[in-house]
Structure 1
Amino acid sequence: MTSTIATKSQALPPGIYCPVISLYQITSRQEIDLVASYKFFSYLIRGGVDGLVLAGTTAEAVLLSSEERKELVKTARKAATDLGRPDFPVVTGISGQSTNESIRLAEDAPAAGANFGLLLPPNYWAKAVTKDVLLGFYREVADATTLPIVIYSFPAMCNGIDMNSDTLSELAHHPNIVGVKLTCGNAGKVTRLTREYKHGQFGVYAGSSDWLIPCLAGGGGGCVTGIANVFPKCVARLYALWNEGKVKEASELQGLVAQAEKACKEGIAPTKFGAAHFAGPPAGITDEKAFWPRKPYAPCGEEKASWVVKVMRHLVEVEQGLPDAV
């Protein structure tokens, strides 16, 4: 049954969102490199993504300070404004293990330039996270801020905490909870939620682009995908082909994108290496060390790096053949 809840006052626009990797200075402390970040944000926007997601899993959010998060949002907003896109959607992670910490991060975000907050469930003591705890957590954070909240469902990163479609549906009724990113990969949640809610009431997004067409076919609004760090034009083109009704061409490109994205499934280091190798030079960032994960985590070894190049390189010609969006 279609819900009669009101359309959200600030719905998350449909489209392709890039969960942007964090770039670091080449020093022993790996301070955030805001100059390189500005170049990379600009590159992604020109590549045609519809929004940026900062301080998420791909950004190594748990390794970032609250001040670094704010500076990255400010830099992303400046990059968008300088490209003539002052209203470009910027989503930032506000996930804390406590309600208080999540509220504090949500309070910081709008002044820095964020439009939306992406929020994982609490998960430190997984056995204590009941449905009532989940509902109370999201509602209390959403009550405490004007920042519209996007639920982030990622059981693999949350001690197995998974929110079923009934729980998500209950949260959709909150006027300040505007959508969900499904990194759980559950297409059934897409079709159940989109049967009940229109996009403006509660947007539903795939958590990767290797099932973008299934998500869109089920009524979803797009995806948040790590491969957009490497080939933003390809993912934007895939989304455009589907919306233009070019199903055969979209399906062919979907397969190519899915093959490349399997490298991103291997973790942050392979994703960052792929971005350094393929996207770094055209973005104006030529030192691969800027893309290394933050310590104590290590960059790809030679064998893994060679494999990443092998599984991604088929998209190079496609990416280079597509025009800039800005």
Structure 2
Amino acid sequence: MQKSTIPPKEKPLPRGVYCPVISLYKPTARQEIDLDAMYKHCQFLVRGGQHGLVYQGTNGEAVLLSPEEKISVIKTVRKAVTDLGVPDYPIVAGISGQSTNESIQLAEDAAKAGASFALLLPPSFWAKSVTEEALLGFYRDVADASPLPVVIYNFPGVTSGIDLNSDDLSALASHPNIVGVKLTCGNVGKAVRLTSKFTPAQFSVYGGSSDFLFPTLEAGGVGCVTGMANVFPKSTSRVYDLWIAGKKEESKRLQDIVANAEWACKKSLALTKFAAGYFAGKKLGLTDPKTFFPRKPYLPANEKMQKWTIETMGVLLEEEEKIPDKVFGKVVNGTH
């Protein structure tokens, strides 16, 4: 096995736990984006210790949002972190389009709106046409034109089974504007193959959920992107913080609880959104359950699954309540 000799990236994605933030809507027939709710939720997540935030990914229902809505959300959350006193806080924007041109346009929009990095799924509408040549060309062309550093997003479950293997990712890692990968495929072996070749400065490897964060870190990865953080931001980031501090036994103990709680998030986005409303909504002053509904045509969780979610994720509530909020230099009341 040979270590890579590619140069370090000019702007690597900072290490840590990132929340792929859900989209929150007004309780109206058209479910317009609720920017005030997004502002409050953003500050809640940052105070909860998240090391960065991802908007307009899968949990953000990116395919259901218009380009204009995406821009307004990024502008809103950049203001939220600036008002909180951390203007340079990492904001990652999803730029996944079905064409190279669309993805480049989304990257340009995100950069103008205030995003720091871009997250990119492979195209998948005509899955049989996405050959290896087309796939590598897509990422290179978008990265060539993107004003933001690009993080590859590998999630076969939402891309008609298209799965970048470790050879594909190794080939793309040499691009100067491709800085890392989010492995929602859950393939720890793939993570090990990549971390054995590349340093984090060359190409960073992130797990796609917090239920295998500890193994990801042990394997040489540098963090994760986890929907669970929408509900329990403190506990998910704490697994990482304890590991970094060398408190591995404590980290593993908390990881075990997090992994069991995250099982609900694996079932559906509707359950993640319900849990965010149930466990965090009151803290944010967001008490209308419809704020946390998926956007139509997708449906909210039924009563049976809601009850199961409360029981499954509730195992983490005590841990979450024990962890204090992060305090920043500027205090705001959570509104515009």
- TM-score bin, normalised by smaller chain: over 0.9
Which whole-Å CA distance do the structure 2 matches of 1:319 and 1:282 have between them?
Answer: 13
Q: Unaligned regions of 5+ residues in structure 2, if any? A: 328-336
Shift of 1:125: 1.2
Which whole-Å CA distance do the structure 2 matches of 1:279 and 1:85 have between them?
Answer: 22
Residue equivalent to 2:154:
153
Which whole-Å CA distance do the structure 2 matches of 1:50 and 1:75 have between them?
Answer: 18
Taking structure 1 as the reference length, the TM-score comes to 0.99
Taking structure 2 as the reference length, the TM-score comes to 0.96
Which whole-Å CA distance do the structure 1 matches of 2:97 and 2:146 have between them?
Answer: 15
Residue equivalent to 1:238:
239
| Deviation readout 1:71-104 (Å, 9 max, x if unpaired) | 1111111111111100000001000001111111
Q: CA RMSD in A?
A: 0.7
Counterparts of 1:185-264 in structure 2, within 5 Å, are: 185-264=186-265
Give, as a single letter, the amino acid of the residue that structure 2 aligns with 1:54. Answer: Y
SS of the residue corresponding to residue 164 of structure 2 reads coil
Counterparts of 1:97-112 in structure 2, within 5 Å, are: 97-112=98-113
Give, as a single letter, the amino acid of the residue that structure 2 aligns with 1:146. Answer: P
SS of the residue corresponding to residue 263 of structure 1 reads helix
Counterparts of 1:227-306 in structure 2, within 5 Å, are: 227-306=228-307
Deviates more, 1:280-289 or 1:73-82: 280-289
Shift of 1:283: 2.1
Checking the alignment, whether the CA contact within 8 Å between 1:39 and 1:285 is kept in structure 2 is no
The total of aligned residue pairs comes to 326
Which whole-Å CA distance do the structure 2 matches of 1:284 and 1:74 have between them?
Answer: 22
Residue equivalent to 1:309:
310
SS of the residue corresponding to residue 229 of structure 2 reads helix
Counterparts of 1:52-201 in structure 2, within 5 Å, are: 52-201=53-202
| Deviation readout 1:173-198 (Å, 9 max, x if unpaired) | 00000000000000011111111111
Give, as a single letter, the amino acid of the residue that structure 2 aligns with 1:57. Answer: T
SS of the residue corresponding to residue 274 of structure 2 reads helix
SS of the residue corresponding to residue 118 of structure 1 reads strand
Checking the alignment, whether the CA contact within 8 Å between 1:205 and 1:223 is kept in structure 2 is yes
Q: Unaligned regions of 5+ residues in structure 1, if any? A: none
Which whole-Å CA distance do the structure 1 matches of 2:281 and 2:135 have between them?
Answer: 39
Shift of 1:39: 0.4
